[in-house]
Amino acid sequence: MINRQADFMVHFTKHQGDLRAVIGSMVFDRHAREDILQEVALVLWKKFDEYDGIHSFGAWARGIAVRKVLQSFDRTRRTPFPMDPETIEAVLTAYDETETEADEPTERQEALRHCLEHLPEKSRQLLDLRYEQELKLHEVAGRTGSTLDAVHKALSRIRTRLHDCVQKELSARKEVGP
Amino acid sequence: MNTEDPVQARIQAFLDDLLSEQERAALFLELRESPVAAREFARLTRLESALRQALHPEPALSLSDLGEELATAPAQGRWWHWPNQQILDHLWGPASAVLLHAALILLILRWALPRPNSVSEQITPVSLGRQLPPLEPFESAFPDMDPRTLMIPDLAYPMEVNSYPDEAVANAIGIPLPDAWPVSTLKDAAPDSKLKVPAVFLARIGSARTERHAQAAPGWGVRAEQAARSGLDWMRSTQASDGSWSEADGGSLRATALAAAAFLSFAPAPGDPQGRPALQAIRFLETQQRKDGRFDLDPGRHAMATLAFAEAWGLWRLPEAGARLDAATAALLLAQDRDGYWESAEARSVSALGWQAHALALILQLHPDREEVRLAAAHLTGLLKTQFDPAKGLFLFPKNVSPLDRNRTTAMAVSALQALGEGSSAECQQGRQFLLRQSASTLASEFTKAAPDSLYFLFDVFARRPGADSAGWLAEAARTVLAEQSAAGAWTDSENRLASLNTSSVILALSSHVRYPLDISAHRTLRSSLAQSPLRSHAKFCADSASPSS
């Protein structure tokens, strides 16, 4: 039992970031995202005996996460579900195909942290407002005295820059080796 | 990454929640049609999530936190665990309130409306009063006709149809209730020596069975038969005194229906070692049949029991079984909704559709003149085909999107369409190719434990339509399943317990090549009759019935 639990935790911890990403792509409310993630974790544990260890744990877990999101929308009925089944299917396939890129979550996080440290102060402040304080875009615009469009464009540029920086950082680390 | 790229720009706007409905729809279309765009979406959402986590670490489910949660969680799901917030939400949700009110109104109507007592001697048209979604080519051929006008022929044992939304209409048929359903006895069930085995079951017996092993299961058919017999020995040893088998969740109808079908795969006489347990199982099913013909409130389970009953009736012609089968068939047809689905307790269970298709197909083989069954079969065929995704070459049903679900739904849909005479359709061919691209051993192993009835559909897909491209694949699947048989002869469930439901399903799967005619030949008749517009013959049927001379 203990080994099984430890085995589960290894898998879950490794794919936790991906699960957050899948859930986050469909659910914009932070608390709802966290609730769903917890439910997913419990379902995965309860069904862990059904996992054969041969297939990708990530693909299996993401499938369950999507179902939980669907159930959550079905339950609350506050808003229509943002994605149709075919789009979900396409997105899940894309996650499966790009899973290897996210295989080393710790390294990726470290690379992102490194890149964040090297951002200009103004960009960092914008990210703080958007992600740390969790302000909506129009609230960020209000705080910074900019337009909505300008904030969106600035954030897009920062995300693009961060993405490229993380890729470079990961490549550099691979070249240096462990 | 290039911010000038319009796809990336749209994804970024989506992440900032700036897209209008139309722009969002355009983005989703792009994601569906372009794998590159979908991969970009995956990358960007990963980055977005990582940014959130880096800048505002959410209360992470750390190893220790989650460990506590796990320690308190049961190792396996206990859905009845009380209080379960999800169940409570569903119970008290607005939909439940509407349903409750509808049920109350129906209850009041049931007692308030007068109920005629006369027995109709004529075939009586019953309109379910629902509008169908457009179904080509039927509606274009008969634009003014209500395609849901069903024909319920008089029953030898009349039935009451109740508890359905169309209860008032159904009651207007004026069919009286039986005082009680008679239960057949072993004595009643003495085989009729003059009775010939219907053609649909011929491959289950004698040299035809041996030939079928060589034709459709080369290299594994004989071994599969030995394993199936040993599995049936185990099943016999675990049958309850009332003829039933129990499932892990405490139910017994599904396990008993599939067990009966598994025993009947050998076409035994009622007194044979394989026949006696099957007969006892059929007698148990009889005790479960309600006055309205249903074996169970769940249409999927009802379909399984109807299939088992149709097999027993076809093989043995038990007294009263024909009337029971008529009542069960009518109940099956009345429960089909306007989309072609059967509402299920398991929220439109996909595997239920497979059993419904197989039940309808067998009833049509036994009663080729049943127009109303043909209409329901044609409607189900239309529904299944609309679930085919030509871009991916597989069948997708809403809420069934995980890889396991995709394999299950595709196996079910292809098997169902084959049973309904559509095995040569492009949808079936592509569905088969999709399944062949999966690992046979993995799929067989997964299904054996986690989705046992899907294993039957999977084997049925290839065993009833043998081909050079699938022979090796099916043999590997069979080898995998055979290797998982326990020393006791049974197969285990996902909790590694020897389980009657899994064992019955595996026996059915291993016998799938002998259970019915192969898709390539004998279904030609059914296919051609279904290919004639059902409404065309149906319209004639209505006209004939309505004319004074009839």
**HEC profile for A16-34?**
HHHHHHHHHCCCCCHHHHH
Q: Is some CB atom of chain A closer than 8 A to the CB atom of B49?
A: yes
CA A142 to chain centre: 27
Both tokens of B188, joined, read 């009643």
Give the three-state DSSP class for B126.
Answer: strand
Q: Residue B127: CB partners within 8 Å, gap ≥ 6?
A: B146, B148, B149, B150, B169
pLDDT higher at B526 or B448: B448
Nearest of B76, B403, B494, B74 to residue A50 by alpha carbon: B494
Q: Which one of A7, A8, A20 would you mutate to disrupt binding with B, by most B Cβ within 10 Å of its Cβ?
A: A20
**Residue B424 has what pLDDT?**
83
Q: Which of A13, A85, A157 sits opposite B398 (nearest CB)?
A: A85
pLDDT band for position B529 (cuts 50, 70, 90): very low
Residue in B51, B93, B401 closest to A131 by CB: B51
Query: Predicted ipTM?
Result: 0.91
pLDDT digits (tens, 9 = 90+) for B152-203: 333 322 233 323 333 443 344 333 334 444 444 434 444 454 556 777 888 8
CA proximity to B423, closest of B391, B456, B462: B462
Separation in Å, CA of B447 to nearest CA in chain A: 11
The separation between the first and the last C-alpha atoms of chain B, rounded to the nearest angstrom, is 75
Cβ <8 Å between B46 and A17: yes
Three-state DSSP class for B358?
A: helix
Calculate mean pLDDT across residues B284-306.
86
Give B397's pLDDT tier (boundaries 50, 70, 90).
confident
The whole-angstrom separation of Cα B41 and Cα B48 is 10
Q: What integer pLDDT is reported at residue B343 of this predicted model?
A: 59
Tell whether B45 lies on the interface with A, counting CB pairs under 8 A.
Answer: yes
pLDDT (0 to 100) of residue A175 = 66
How much is the mean pLDDT over chain A? 82
The more confident residue out of B466 and B130 is B466
Query: pLDDT confidence of B542, banded at 50, 70, 90?
Result: very low
Q: Which residue has the higher pLDDT, B225 or B72?
A: B225
Mean pLDDT of the B500-529 span? 73
Over residues B53-72, the mean pLDDT reads: 59
CA distances from B447 to B161, B321, B408 (A): 36, 33, 8
Whether A21 contacts B52, CB under 8 Å: no
CA distances from B487 to B359, B484, B492 (A): 33, 9, 11
Residues in chain A: 178
pLDDT band at residue B149 under the 50/70/90 scheme:
very low
**CA–CA gap between residue B34 and residue B27 (Å, rounded):** 10
Chain B CB contacts of A35 under 8 Å are none
Peptide bond into B548 cis (omega under 30): no
List the structure tokens of B292.
Answer: 């309205």
Contact criterion met (CB below 8 Å) for B404 and B451: yes
Average pLDDT value for residue range B516-533: 49
Q: How far is B392 from chain A (nearest CA, A)?
A: 10
Asked if the C-beta of B390 comes within 8 angstroms of chain A's C-beta atoms, the answer is no
B449 inside 8 A of chain A by CB: yes
H or E segment at A165? Answer: helix A148-176
Q: Residue B543's CB: how many other CB atoms inside 10 A?
A: 10
Distance, first Cα to last Cα, chain A: 33
Averaged pLDDT for residues B141-150:
36
CA A75 to chain centre: 23
At B149, which helix (H) or strand (E)?
strand B149-152
pLDDT digits (tens, 9 = 90+) for B401-454: 677 788 888 999 999 999 988 888 888 889 999 999 999 998 998 888 888 888
- Residue B61 is predicted with a pLDDT of 57
- Average pLDDT over every residue of B119-140: 34
For residue range B204-253, list pLDDT tens digits in order.
888 888 888 888 888 898 899 999 999 999 999 999 988 999 877 667 89
Q: Is A139 exposed, middle or buried (0-12, 13-18, 19+ CB in 10 A)?
A: middle
B207 touches chain A (CB under 8 A): no
Position with higher pLDDT, A51 vs B360:
B360
Contacts of B55 in chain A (CB under 8 A): 116, 127-128, 131-132
**Looking at residues B28-36, what average pLDDT do you find?**
87
Compare all CA atoms of chain A with the CA of B395 and give the residue at the minimum distance.
A86
Interacting residues of B372 by C-beta distance below 8 A, sequence separation 6+: B150, B151, B152, B153, B333
Q: How many residues does chain B have?
A: 550
Give residue B92's pLDDT: 57
Q: What pLDDT score was predicted for residue A166?
A: 87
pTM of the model: 0.51
Neighbours of A7 (CB within 10 A): 14
Using a CB–CB cutoff of 8 Å, tell me whether B21 touches chain A: no
pLDDT at B207: 80
Contact present, B30 and B7 (Cβ < 8 Å): yes
Cβ contact, residue pair B32, A50, below 8 Å: no
Q: Which of B72-81, B200-209, B467-476 comes out lowest in average pLDDT?
A: B72-81
What is the percent of chain A with per-residue pLDDT over 70, rounded to a whole number?
87
3-class state of residue B60 by DSSP: coil
Give the whole-angstrom CA distance, residue A88 versus residue A72.
15
- E strand or H helix that includes residue B395: strand B394-395
Looking at residue B509, what is its pLDDT? Answer: 94
**DSSP H or E segment with residue B388:** strand B388-389
Exposure b/e, B282-296, CB count within 10 A at least 16 = b:
bbbbbebbbebbbbb
In this prediction, residues B384-405 reach a mean pLDDT of 80
| Nearest Cβ partner for A64 among B16, B28, B402 | B402
A1, A39, A40, A45, best to mutate vs chain B, most B CBs in 10 Å: A45
Distance CA B201, CA B311 (A): 9
Average pLDDT over every residue of B384-408? 81
CA angle B31, A75, B132 (to 5 degrees): 70
Chain B residue closest to A80 (CA)?
B21
Rg of chain B on CA atoms, in Å:
26
Partner-chain contact B494 A101, CB within 8 Å: no
Distance CA A126, CA A113 (A): 16
Residue in B closest to A30 by C-alpha: B58
Scanning B290-329 for CB atoms below 8 A from A yields none
Q: Which amino acid is at A13?
A: T
More confident residue, B295 or B138: B295
Cα B221 from chain centroid? Answer: 25
Predicted confidence (pLDDT) at residue A18 exceeds the cutoff of 80: yes
Percent of chain A clearing pLDDT 90 (strictly above): 7
**Chain A residues 141-170 within an 8 A CB cutoff of chain B:** 148, 152, 155-157, 159-160, 162-164, 166
More confident residue, A63 or B114: A63
Residues of chain B contacting A33 with CB distance shorter than 8 Å:
58
- CB contact under 8 Å between A155 and B43, yes or no, is no
Residue B22 burial (10 A CB sphere; 0-12, 13-18, 19+): exposed
Chain A residue with CA closest to B61: the answer is A38
**B265, B269, B273, B275 alpha-carbon torsion, rounded to 10°:** 60
Does the CB of A138 have a partner CB in chain B at under 8 Å? no
Residue B399, pLDDT score: 64
Residue-wise DSSP of B447-461: HHHH-HHHHHHHHHH
Tell me the pLDDT of chain B averaged across its residues: 73
User: How confident is the model over B514-525, as a mean pLDDT?
Assistant: 61
Residues B475 and B453: their CA atoms lie apart, in Å, by 19
Task: Give the highest mean pLDDT range of A95-109, B36-50, B311-325.
Answer: B36-50
Which DSSP helix (H) or strand (E) runs through B124?
strand B124-127
- For residues B75 and A31, the answer to whether their CB atoms sit within 8 Å is no
pLDDT at A72: 78
Q: Band of the pLDDT at B143, cuts 50, 70, 90?
A: very low
Q: For tokens 């409404």, what's the residue?
A: B535
Confidence band for B478, pLDDT divided at 50, 70 and 90: very high
Q: What is the pLDDT of residue B234?
A: 92
Averaged pLDDT, A1-12 = 75
Query: With contacts defined as CB-CB under 8 Å, which chain A residues touch B42?
Result: 21, 91, 94-95, 97-98
Angstrom distance (rounded) from CA B345 to CA B332: 15
Which range, of A72-86, B286-300, B378-392, averages the lowest pLDDT? A72-86
The rounded distance, in Å, linking the Cα atoms of B73 and A46 is: 8
Of A18, A41, A136, the CB nearest to B66: A41
> CB-based contact (8 Å) between B53 and chain A?
yes
- Residue B31 has which token pair? 């994601």
Neighbours of B262 (CB within 10 A): 30
- Residues forming a β-bridge with B400: B397
3-state DSSP call for residue B536? helix
